[in-house]
C-alpha cells in the first residue's frame, strides 16, 4: 500500500514539475513533507540553485516532535520573511505531489500572510 501511495505522489510530482518552472525573479517554492518535519525551499530552475531554505527543525529545535499544522504555518511565514529580505516578492508554488490540505495548505497560507504572492 505504501509503495502505491508513494508512486502515485511521485507521478503527480512529475506532472507538476513539467508545468512549473522557477526563475530568479519568480523562484519555485518547493515543499517536502516527511513524517517528522516539513521543508520549504526557493529554487531557481534556470541555474539549478537553491536560493534559500527553511524547515520545521529551524523553528523547533526538538527533533523528537513531529511537524504540526501550526509549525507548518510558522515555516511558511519564515520562508516569506527570508524571501522578502532577499528581494523576492512573487513565487511559483510547487506542492510536490502532496494534496493541498493540512500542513501543505498551512505552509502556503503562512507564506501568503508573510507577504509572498503566488
- Domains along the chain with CATH numbers: 2-114 (3.30.420.100)
Please state at what angle helix 103-114 crosses helix 69-85, rounded to 10 degrees.
30
Cα separation, 114 vs 59, whole angstroms: 15
What is the per-residue pLDDT across 102-112, written as a single tens digit (0 to 9) for each?
A: 999 999 999 99
What is the per-residue pLDDT across 29-85, written as a single tens digit (0 to 9) for each?
A: 999 999 889 999 999 999 999 999 999 988 877 666 788 999 999 999 999 999 999
Which one-letter DSSP state was computed for residue 101?
Answer: S
Please report the beta strands in the chain, taking only residues with DSSP state E, as ranges in sequence order. 28-33, 38-44, 49-55, 92-94
Entry pTM: 0.89
Amino acid at each position: 500500500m505504501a509503495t502505491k501511495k508513494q508512486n502515485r505522489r511521485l507521478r503527480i510530482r512529475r506532472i507538476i514539475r513539467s508545468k512549473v518552472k522557477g526563475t530568479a525573479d519568480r523562484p519555485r517554492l518547493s515543499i517536502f513533507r516527511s513524517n517528522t518535519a516539513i521543508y520549504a525551499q526557493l529554487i531557481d530552475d534556470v541555474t539549478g540553485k537553491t536560493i534559500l531554505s527553511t524547515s520545521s527543525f529551524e523553528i523547533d529545535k526538538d527533533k523528537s516532535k513531529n511537524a504540526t499544522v501550526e509549525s507548518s504555518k510558522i515555516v511558511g511565514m519564515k520562508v516569506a520573511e527570508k524571501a522578502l529580505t532577499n528581494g523576492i516578492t512573487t513565487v511559483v508554488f510547487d506542492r510536490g505531489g502532496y494534496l493541498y490540505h493540512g500542513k501543505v495548505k498551512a505552509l502556503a497560507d503562512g507564506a501568503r500572510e508573510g507577504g509572498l504572492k503566488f
